[in-house]
């Protein structure tokens, strides 16, 4: 759990501030990710240091070593503020466990950044609307609780709760009111669980954890339950409490919730697996329309007939090559010119109906079909890019979305390389978009896949950035080139100070780490202007272009290349 140990003695900061290091348990520096800021430039003392005690000695050195040992032992993060006397330097040290043997150490000058890092820090682990832990902190907590219960052979229930129909409020209520709704729900959840569990932070035996793990999802850990029935009773209580009208202005909003439950140890021995299985059970509940709470069954994730039908149709569509690819341009924020196109899977309505792409992709992800579909999309879109390049759009790049299953293939880099060679393209023509959940779910393992892709020479983009589990620590340690800020943050940019601050922080942080930033879901002139003012490098969304067929896009490429103002295409 996050902790702040700033309240004991505060030795003076005698070393530099503003740097990001990866430090091994024994104090040796494994990597220097940053050693200064835009004003100061790189700090040679940090760049050449081999051990952390060569940079910070004395009391601070001791304190740093203690914190590193502590985060490695507890597999957590902590922050430590070190203040000099009046007029002196104040620095915040953040320590984040990276695997078993090293820790990320982020050092920031508190005087310079005026709370910016605190904000980023919070953005990284705390959902600002509700004040609850986010998905990442939830998983850290779950790991800790599992480790504790493992020793005692105790049981744990992980419950995820999806708030249905909240979207309907978007039209009727503004984002501020919508936030108020989630804050109220969080308050109710806290109240519902109090009494059933201890609030004592050190009591892993009885302490429940509540988190907001996605825009519409909460998750709860119930440690030390006796049986599944206990968890079901809590879930029913929570659902009933969410169903009580929420007062927004002078109106009452009625919400419905679905819950999924996974039990430790039978539904997963690891935090991620347990959580994913609770999510799968929750999705099952929300598809069933008549059951509000479902348990994970261990094996059956896709239980509804409807899903099985879709799977079959998906397979047929693949066999008969009835899929298609649409392309959505990404434009340079300063010039408005098209820099790249994102390939998006499409299909004829007669085959799979009007399902959303996300749904089709998530069904394909639960079967091995996604690998074949992904291979097909990559082949088709590489061929298309080649025809554009042959027409003279040499600098145009292609970006391609990748799913967890594809990402975990050991031959991923080889298969991408084969597709590029076959189409006559260079690796530098391609960007791979990885959802931030995937990349950071098993960061150490996934970073090595990323490195293989980097060796190949393709670009890496973190898609849907800012709504999930990505932390400052992760980003500074990940081998990515670009972040793509999610639609959800862009949508309320004009009205929500919080979303504006989040975009601002994400852009500054990415730039400090040498990454480029794309914002997706840009629908209005004002959003485009605000993002450009914040320094965003590239923009994508209906304000510029909707996804469209390869043929449709050709004309726009020509206009863009000649620098003429491109036509705005609206619609989905
Ligand atoms: P994504 O990669 O984040 O793609 C952006 C989504 O936002 C696309 O939805 C796009 O049509 C939509 N969009 C574009 N401009 C705007 C806008 O201004 N406002 C709003 N509200 N939305 C906008 P789409 O095409 O339905 O795709 C959904 C998701 O499905 C994608 O999210 C991506 O994660 C996944 N996906 C699509 N094609 C593939 C594929 O070939 N392979 C894999 N693995 N996933 C894919
Ligand atoms: Mg994408
Ligand atoms: Mg996205």
Domain total of the chain: 3
Identify whether residues 29 and 105 lie together within a single domain: yes
For residues 243 and 521, what is the distance between their CA atoms, to the nearest angstrom? 31
Identify whether residues 495 and 389 lie together within a single domain: yes
Strand ordering across the sheet containing 102-109: 29-35, 19-24, 102-109, 90-98, 77-83
What residues does the ion ligand 3 have nearby, CB within 5 Å?
Answer: 463-464
342 C-alpha to ligand 2 centroid (Å): 7
Are 302 and 363 in contact, with CB atoms under 8 Å apart?
yes
Task: Give domain status of residue 195, yes or no.
Answer: yes
Last residue of a domain, one of 125, 144, 175: 125
Neighbours of 293 (CB within 10 A): 22
Which DSSP symbol is given to 427? G
- Looking at all shown ligands, the one closest to residue 407's CA atom is 1
Identify whether residues 139 and 283 lie together within a single domain: yes
Last residue of a domain, one of 97, 125, 153: 125
For residues 451 and 456, what is the distance between their CA atoms, to the nearest angstrom? 8
Identify whether residues 251 and 394 lie together within a single domain: no
Nearest of 202, 231, 66, 229 to residue 141 by alpha carbon: 202
Element (H, E) at 507: helix 497-512
Calculated CA dihedral for residues 521, 526, 530, 531, nearest 10 degrees: 30
Task: Give domain status of residue 303, yes or no.
Answer: no
Q: Which atom of ligand 1 is nearest to the CA of 344?
A: 38
Task: Give domain status of residue 382, yes or no.
Answer: yes
Per DSSP, what are the bridge partners of residue 79?
4, 94
Strands 217-223 and 156-164: antiparallel
What range defines the domain where residue 98 resides? 4-125
Task: Give domain status of residue 550, yes or no.
Answer: yes
Calculated CA dihedral for residues 242, 183, 486, 436, nearest 10 degrees: -80
Q: Which atom of ligand 1 is nearest to the CA of 540?
A: 15
pLDDT for the residue 441: 58
For residues 396 and 429, what is the distance between their CA atoms, to the nearest angstrom? 7
Substitution site in 323, 361, 433, 569 for ligand 1 pocket (most atoms within 8 Å of beta carbon): 361
Identify whether residues 165 and 278 lie together within a single domain: yes
Identify whether residues 488 and 402 lie together within a single domain: yes
Task: Give domain status of residue 111, yes or no.
Answer: yes
Q: Is the CB of 436 under 6 A from ligand 1?
A: no
- CATH code for the domain of 429: 3.20.20.450
What are the two backbone dihedrals, phi and then psi, of residue 255, each rounded to the nearest 5 degrees? -120, 155
Task: Give domain status of residue 363, yes or no.
Answer: no
Tokens of 487: 């639609």
Per DSSP, what are the bridge partners of residue 343?
327, 400
131-170 CB burial, b ≥16 within 10 A, e <16: ebbbbbbbbbbbbbbbeebeeeebbbbbbbbbbeebeebe
Identify whether residues 107 and 159 lie together within a single domain: no
pLDDT for the residue 554: 87
Are 440 and 407 in contact, with CB atoms under 8 Å apart?
no
Identify whether residues 475 and 407 lie together within a single domain: yes
Cis peptide, bond prior to residue 265, ω within 30 of zero: yes
Nearest of 181, 277, 295, 287 to residue 236 by alpha carbon: 295
What HEC string does 255-313 produce?
A: CEEEEEEEEECCCCCCHHHHHHHHHHHHHHHHHHCCCCEEECCCCCCCCCHHHHHHHHH
Identify whether residues 539 and 399 lie together within a single domain: yes
Are 354 and 365 in contact, with CB atoms under 8 Å apart?
no
Q: Is the CB of 354 under 6 A from ligand 1?
A: no
Q: Is the CB of 344 under 6 A from ligand 1?
A: yes
Identify whether residues 154 and 115 lie together within a single domain: no
- CATH code for the domain of 228: 3.30.70.270
What are the two backbone dihedrals, phi and then psi, of residue 388, each rounded to the nearest 5 degrees? -65, -40
Identify whether residues 253 and 149 lie together within a single domain: yes
Last residue of a domain, one of 93, 125, 157: 125
Task: Give domain status of residue 360, yes or no.
Answer: no
Task: Give domain status of residue 567, yes or no.
Answer: no
433 C-alpha to ligand 2 centroid (Å): 6
Identify whether residues 495 and 551 lie together within a single domain: yes
Closest residue to atom 11 of ligand 1, CA basis: 547
Q: Is the CB of 487 under 6 A from ligand 1?
A: yes
- CATH code for the domain of 52: 3.30.450.20
309 C-alpha to ligand 2 centroid (Å): 27
Show pLDDT as tens, one digit a residue, over the chain (572 residues): 333 343 344 444 455 667 778 888 899 998 777 777 656 677 888 888 999 888 888 778 888 888 888 878 766 667 777 765 545 556 778 777 666 777 878 776 665 444 444 555 556 677 878 888 888 888 888 887 887 777 667 788 999 999 886 655 445 566 677 788 899 999 998 887 764 544 444 444 456 789 999 888 999 998 877 777 778 888 888 999 999 988 887 778 888 899 999 988 888 888 988 998 898 888 878 776 666 777 776 533 434 445 566 778 888 888 888 899 999 999 999 999 999 999 999 987 777 777 788 878 877 877 778 999 999 999 999 999 999 999 999 999 999 999 877 887 878 999 999 999 999 999 999 999 998 766 665 555 666 788 889 899 999 999 988 765 455 556 666 788 999 999 988 998 888 877 787 788 788 878 878 899 999 999 999 999 999 999 999 999 999 999 999 999 988 888 887 766 554 544 43
Side-chain half-sphere exposure of 429, counting CA atoms within 13 A: 22
Collapsing DSSP to helix, strand or coil, 132 comes out as coil
Burial (CB count within 10 angstroms: exposed 0-12, middle 13-18, buried 19+), residue 415: middle
Whether the full predicted model's pTM is greater than 0.85, yes or no, is no
């Amino acid at each position: 759990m996050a902790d702040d140990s700033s309240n004991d003695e505060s030795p003076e900061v005698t070393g530099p501030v503003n740097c990001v290091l990866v430090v091994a348990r024994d104090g040796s520096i494994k990597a220097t990710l940053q050693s200064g800021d835009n004003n100061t430039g790189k700090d040679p003392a940090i760049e050449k240091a081999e051990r952390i005690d060569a940079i910070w000695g004395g009391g601070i050195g001791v304190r740093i070593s203690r914190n590193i040992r502590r985060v490695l032992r507890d597999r957590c993060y902590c922050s430590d503020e070190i203040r000099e006397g009046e007029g002196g330097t104040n620095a915040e040290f953040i320590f984040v466990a990276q695997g078993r043997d090293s820790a990320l150490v982020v050092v920031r000058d508190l005087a310079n950044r005026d709370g910016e890092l605190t904000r980023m820090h919070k953005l990284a682990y705390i959902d600002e609307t509700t004040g609850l832990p986010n998905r990442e902190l939830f998983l850290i907590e779950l790991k800790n609780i599992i480790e504790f219960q493992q020793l005692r052979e105790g049981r744990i229930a992980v419950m995820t709760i999806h708030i249905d129909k909240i979207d309907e409020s978007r039209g009727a209520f503004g984002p501020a009111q919508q936030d108020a709704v989630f804050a109220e729900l969080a308050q109710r959840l806290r109240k519902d669980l109090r009494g059933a569990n201890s609030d004592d932070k050190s009591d892993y035996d009885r302490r429940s954890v509540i988190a907001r793990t996605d825009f519409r999802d909460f998750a709860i850990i119930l440690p030390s339950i006796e049986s599944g029935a206990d968890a079901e009773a809590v879930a029913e209580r929570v659902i009933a409490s969410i169903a009580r009208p929420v007062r927004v202005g002078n109106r009452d909003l009625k919400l419905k919730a679905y819950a999924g439950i996974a039990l430790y140890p039978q539904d997963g021995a690891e935090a991620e697996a347990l959580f994913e299985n609770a999510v799968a059970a929750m999705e099952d509940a929300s598809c069933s329309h008549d059951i509000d709470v479902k348990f994970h069954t261990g094996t059956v994730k896709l239980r509804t007939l409807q899903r099985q039908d879709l799977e079959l149709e998906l397979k047929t569509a693949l066999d008969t090559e009835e899929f298609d690819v649409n392309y959505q341009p990404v434009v340079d924020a300063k010039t408005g010119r098209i820099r790249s196109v994102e390939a998006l899977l499409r299909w004829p309505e007669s085959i799979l109906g009007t399902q959303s792409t996300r749904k089709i992709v998530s069904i394909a992800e639960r079967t091995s079909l996604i690998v074949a579909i992904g291979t097909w999309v990559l082949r088709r879109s590489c061929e298309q890019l080649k025809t554009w390049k042959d027409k003279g759009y040499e600098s145009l790049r292609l970006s391609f979305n990748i799913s967890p299953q594809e990402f975990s293939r050991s031959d991923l880099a080889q298969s991408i390389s084969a597709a590029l060679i076959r189409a006559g393209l260079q690796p530098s023509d391609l960007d791979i978009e990885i959802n931030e959940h995937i990349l950071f779910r098993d960061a150490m393992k996934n970073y090595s896949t990323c490195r293989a892709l980097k060796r190949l020479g393709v670009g890496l983009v973190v898609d849907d950035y800012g709504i999930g589990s990505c932390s400052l620590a992760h980003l500074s340690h990940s081998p990515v080139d670009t972040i793509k800020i999610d639609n959800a943050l862009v949508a309320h940019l004009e009205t929500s100070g919080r979303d504006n601050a989040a975009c601002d922080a994400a852009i500054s942080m990415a730039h400090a780490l040498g990454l480029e930033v794309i914002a997706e879901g840009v629908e209005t002139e004002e959003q485009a202007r605000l993002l450009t003012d914040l320094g965003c490098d590239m923009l994508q969304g209906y304000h510029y272009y909707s996804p469209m067929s390869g043929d449709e896009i050709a004309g726009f490429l020509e206009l863009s290349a000649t620098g003429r103002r491109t036509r705005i295409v609206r619609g989905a």
